[in-house]
Amino acid sequence: MSLKFLWYRGVHSGTFTYTAFTRNSPRQREPTRTNAHTTKAFAVGTIQSIPEVSRRGTGCIRIPPGVDVPLTERVRKLIDASGFRRLAHISQLGLVRHVYPGATHSRQEHSLGVFLAAIEYLDHLAADPRFEAAVSPCDAELLLAAALLHDVGHWPFGHPIEDLGLADLPHHESLGAREITSGRIAEVLRNDWRLEPCQVANLVCGNVATPAQRILRSILSGPIDVDKIDYLQRDSLHAGVPYGQHFDRLRLIGSLCLNEAGDALAITEKGKTAAEMMVFARYVMFSEVYWHHTVRAATAMLQRAVHELHPRLDFAELVTRTDEPFVAELLSVARGAPVGALLAGIFGPVRSLYKRLAQYSFVEEPTVYELFARRPYGELVNDARQIASMLGEALGQPVAEHEVLVDAPPTKLEVAFDIDVYAAKKGTYHALGDLSPVVRTLAQEQFDKYVKRVRVFIHPRLADAARSLPNLTNRLKNSIAS
């Protein structure tokens, strides 16, 4: 049997389950040209004739967990460009490795996984008459290029640093647009893909206008997009946890269709359970991995250090660096500064992370939670300084301003999981949230409130004494109210 493609569907008893797709597999069609042995053919110029989708005459790159990403010459030229190669030296999960040591995979690996997911989406949707009428082969190639290049603007620890809201900090999407529309990547897009770089950049940045563009954008960035379907499973795999792997990827992709308006993705009824499981996977990955309390301690330390150092940082140059040079520059600028100890605790030879002094969830302590959640970062720094002053008086010893950190959900909310479900027999569409209490609760109403907690972190030398203070919560509330 000729093995065409592999993907794992989950973990059972510590082993991966793989599904093999062969030439005749209904879930992974391989379109062929008409010959004496075939009765069905695709026309040249269809989505299924795109080399990366048909997989004819292509090489491959193998990425975890043992899957082959189609490699054509024009794909090779993009991934060999310096703008893409730098992603090999930028961690996908950054500080998560302080809790999950295996979570060291790169944004390059993730980008290849997203590219592969885009191929799978197109391979399925090409058989949908409405999709075929709306999305041309050129549009499909635009999606493939955007999927491969969607992260080229990322820089080390970009997401938590962007949450600081610093005025002079460039956003990763604008950096990505610059990378896509200039230099070697732009040259390859024009000459080898026959695409305008600005069109690829617009799709990556969400600047879309036509129905076809909105469809492509919903595939690239939407409730069930190629980014999410890869990072949930890939991050879970490398972290060594099962949470992000327990949804049926194949079933979900096999249920994709267009919404009633014909300008975004929807799913058929058969994909409803798989979509619910994806929502739950996302919820647990945020709760147990991305917002794990130790991950957030390291994140809070990094954020505070960058906030204090930012007048001395050249962000225009810093965002061009990869992980190691980025950290080296931070450590160099922080040398001799009080917040240098924060960076040394994260990146130095001896790990020394701050400890939880208090933690508040929306469910358990809504009043305290709302005092801190979704406020500008500068206000949280002022709160932390007031708390440090209060603790110094209560403990009878000096507490430096940077020895107390407040970590709270940022001002920007996560994208709501809003997708329609098509009932073929009735010919009707209904919002998934209307059909599923799981989705309504976990992905629409209070996703951020459930998975992201307010935490106060403190230097390890002060943790035991501060935790022993009576009426700690009231002290914290009163200190920021004064």
Strand 15-21 versus strand 5-12 pairing type: antiparallel
- Six-digit token string for 421: 């479900």
Please indicate whether residue 9 or residue 84 has the higher confidence score (pLDDT).
84
May I ask the CATH class of domain 5-291+416-445? mainly alpha
Catalogue the E-assigned strands of 64-117. 67-71
Average pLDDT over the chain reads 89
Question: 369-382: string of b/e by CB count within 10 Å (b at 16+)?
Answer: bebbbebebeebbe
Poorest-confidence range of 54-63, 236-245, 313-322, 435-444? 435-444
pLDDT of residue 37: 30
Query: Does pLDDT of 30 surpass 70?
Result: no
How far apart CA 441 and CA 194 sit, in angstroms, is 44
Architecture of the CATH domain 295-409+452-481: Up-down Bundle (1.20)
Cα 364 to Cα 354: distance, rounded to the nearest angstrom = 23
pLDDT band, residue 200 (cuts 50/70/90): very high
- pLDDT at residue 13 above 50? no
Are 5-291+416-445 and 295-409+452-481 in the same CATH fold?
no
Alpha helices in 150-192 (DSSP H): 158-162, 172-180, 183-191
Helix, strand, or coil here: 16?
strand
pLDDT grade for 8, boundaries at 50, 70 and 90? very low
**Per-residue pLDDT band at 33 (split at 50, 70, 90):** very low
Q: What angle do CA 248, 253, 255 make, to 5 degrees?
A: 100
Q: 276-306: per-residue pLDDT in tens? A: 999 999 999 999 999 999 999 999 999 999 9
C-alpha pair distances (Å), 8 with each of 23, 92, 98, 422: 19, 20, 26, 27
Q: Where are the domains of the chain?
A: 5-291+416-445, 295-409+452-481
pLDDT tens-digit map of 342-369: 999 999 999 999 999 999 999 889 999 9
The pLDDT of residue 444 is above 60: no
Predicted TM-score (pTM) of the model is 0.89
CB 143 within 8 A of CB 203: yes
Find the mean pLDDT for residues 376-393: 96
Q: Which residue has the higher pLDDT, 334 or 481?
A: 334
What single-letter DSSP state applies at residue 430?
Answer: E
DSSP letter (8 states) at residue 413? P
Instruction: Order the strands of the 404-407 sheet from edge to edge.
Output: 355-360, 454-458, 404-407
Residue 127, C-beta contacts closer than 8 angstroms, at least 6 positions apart: 29
pLDDT band with cut points at 50, 70 and 90 for residue 445: low
Least confident of 11-25, 37-51, 116-130, 267-281: 11-25
